[in-house]
């Protein structure tokens, strides 16, 4: 692919400090753009200065949400090299999302070339550990039309931005509200796709969670309202009777790259690991009886984030269930440290997960 280079050169004014880089607030100087038109496939790949683009308010993405995105990170290793973590897995998921949202596929090799070219261009913006350069590929429907149908024009773009840790709680474990009144995804819906509408529909629950002093919500299934699915915008894992347990991805759950990587690491460490349906009652009883000793979310942004308290509001009455001593447990700690060591280049990458820029 011949990428047109209209980029700018700009270095950070001061050394990047991960402690002062809130998630997703600052962006690197350049971005990648590429167009698709019916009959013309993908064309005009280019790296241009980061900034606003001109788009009509009749663009279909603004009305019907035909949009997908991805999220991954690049890491500065001790030897000064820069690496992406498993970008092929994100590229493959982007294609699955595109199919579900009736959008054109961007071939994996094209996505990887675009990401590597852009991160390479702005490599000076990769902050030191524990910071990362967040990479946000996305695709939007740009046809100017108000009929409800698939767009005949699309824009694929990638933004990057230096970032510190996702949760501003530091090492404090999360307080999580069980979402009894809302669902994130239903069978046959778009839960397994990374599309904006899933997140728009989750914001109200997140706001109510904050009113209860919680950081996020625990999503239950849409049919029986008892199978645990996800935790905010991360996958969720439990330690139940000493077994690392997570719900199966069956169409309503996003297939997380972190989840998949932790499963591999856990098996290598000899930790018992199962994927099976988990009922919320089982967790509440397990917390009361001491059989459920850990709960944690896992995802690119949050890495591994321990849950310290589960909050359930029933007919206006708030019940709080503490997870063990309310702090990160040994399983979460071991997995978090093992994963981060590989990502940040302080442990050998025996799986071939890191892709050098």
Ligand X SMILES: Cc1ncc(COP(=O)(O)O)c(C=O)c1O
**CA–CA separation, 242 and 353 (whole Å):** 28
**Helix, strand, or coil here: 144?**
strand
* Residues facing 158 on adjacent strands: 32, 137
Nearest to 298 by CA among 342, 343, 232: 232
Specify whether the CB–CB gap between 173 and 307 falls below 8 A.
yes
**DSSP structure string for 167-191:** STTTTPPEEEEE-SS--S--TTSST
**CA–CA separation, 180 and 224 (whole Å):** 11
The 308-327 contact track toward ligand X, x by CB under 6 A, reads: --------------------
Stretch that binds ligand X, among 46-54, 61-69, 249-257, 342-350 (CB under 6 A): 249-257
16 binds ligand X (CB under 6 A): no
Give the tokens for residue 249.
């991805």
Cis ω for the linkage preceding 130 (within 30 of 0): yes
Binders in 177-196 for ligand X, by CB under 6 A: none
Going along the chain, which residue ranges are E strands?
4-5, 30-37, 41-49, 67-69, 72-76, 82-85, 132-141, 153-163, 174-178, 216-220, 228-231, 235-240, 243-246, 273-275, 292-299, 303-314, 317-322, 354-356
* Residues facing 72 on adjacent strands: 135
104 binds ligand X (CB under 6 A): no
Name which of 254 and 306 has its Cβ closer to ligand X.
Answer: 254
Which residue from 247, 299, 308, 329 is in contact with ligand X, where contact means CB under 6 A? 299
| 98 HSE (CA, 13 A, CB side) | 22
Name which of 142 and 235 has its Cβ closer to ligand X.
Answer: 235
Name which of 71 and 189 has its Cβ closer to ligand X.
Answer: 71
Stretch that binds ligand X, among 58-66, 254-262, 308-316, 323-331 (CB under 6 A): 254-262
256 binds ligand X (CB under 6 A): yes
300 binds ligand X (CB under 6 A): yes
Binders in 227-246 for ligand X, by CB under 6 A: 230, 233-235
Q: For the CB of residue 71, give the shortest distance to ligand X in the complex, in Å.
A: 5
Q: For the CB of residue 60, give the shortest distance to ligand X in the complex, in Å.
A: 23
Q: For the CB of residue 253, give the shortest distance to ligand X in the complex, in Å.
A: 7
The 39-78 contact track toward ligand X, x by CB under 6 A, reads: --------------------------------x-------
**CA–CA separation, 350 and 85 (whole Å):** 13
216 binds ligand X (CB under 6 A): no
DSSP 79: T
Which residue from 74, 249, 258, 293 is in contact with ligand X, where contact means CB under 6 A? 258
**Helix, strand, or coil here: 192?**
coil
Name which of 121 and 344 has its Cβ closer to ligand X.
Answer: 344
Q: For the CB of residue 87, give the shortest distance to ligand X in the complex, in Å.
A: 11
Which residue from 257, 292, 323, 354 is in contact with ligand X, where contact means CB under 6 A? 257
Q: For the CB of residue 336, give the shortest distance to ligand X in the complex, in Å.
A: 13
Stretch that binds ligand X, among 5-13, 42-50, 101-109, 251-259 (CB under 6 A): 251-259
Q: For the CB of residue 329, give the shortest distance to ligand X in the complex, in Å.
A: 20
Q: In the chain, what is the straight-line distance between the N-terminal and C-terminal CA atoms, in Å? A: 17
162 binds ligand X (CB under 6 A): no
**Could you list the residues that contact ligand X (CB under 6 A)?**
71, 230, 233-235, 254, 256-259, 299-300
């Amino acid at each position: 692919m011949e990428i047109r280079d209209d980029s700018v050169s700009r270095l950070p004014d001061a050394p990047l400090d991960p402690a002062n880089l809130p998630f997703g607030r600052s962006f690197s100087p350049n971005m990648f753009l590429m167009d698709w038109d019916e009959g013309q496939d993908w064309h005009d790949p280019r790296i241009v200065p980061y900034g606003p683009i001109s788009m009509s308010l009749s663009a279909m993405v603004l009305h019907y949400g035909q949009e997908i995105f991805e999220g991954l990170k690049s890491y500065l290793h001790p030897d000064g090299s820069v690496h992406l973590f498993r970008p092929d897995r994100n590229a493959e998921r982007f294609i699955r999302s595109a199919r579900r949202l009736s959008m054109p596929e961007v071939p994996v090799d094209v996505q990887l070339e675009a990401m590597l070219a852009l991160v390479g261009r702005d490599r000076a913006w990769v902050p030191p550990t524990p910071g990362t350069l967040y990479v946000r590929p996305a695709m939007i429907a740009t046809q100017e039309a108000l009929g409800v149908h698939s767009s005949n024009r699309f824009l694929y773009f990638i933004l990057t931005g230096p970032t510190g840790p996702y949760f501003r709680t530091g090492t404090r474990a999360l307080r999580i509200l069980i979402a009894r009144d809302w669902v994130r995804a239903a069978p046959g819906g778009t839960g397994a796709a990374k599309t904006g509408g899933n997140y728009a529909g989750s914001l109200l629950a997140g706001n109510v969670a904050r009113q209860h002093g919680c950081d996020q919500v625990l999503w239950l299934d849409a049919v029986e309202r008892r199978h645990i699915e996800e935790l905010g915008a991360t996958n969720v894992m439990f330690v139940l009777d000493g077994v690392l347990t997570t719900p199966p991805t069956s169409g309503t759950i996003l297939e997380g790259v972190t989840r998949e990587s932790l499963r591999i690491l856990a098996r290598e460490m000899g930790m018992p690991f199962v994927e099976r349906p988990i009922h919320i009652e089982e967790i509440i009883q397990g917390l009361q009886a001491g059989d459920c000793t850990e709960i944690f979310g896992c995802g690119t942004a949050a890495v591994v984030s321990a849950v310290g308290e589960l909050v359930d509001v029933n007919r206006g009455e708030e019940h709080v269930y503490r997870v063990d001593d309310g702090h990160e447990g040994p399983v979460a700690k071991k997995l978090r440290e093992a994963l981060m060591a590989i990502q940040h280049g302080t442990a050998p990458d025996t799986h071939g997960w890191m892709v050098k820029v």
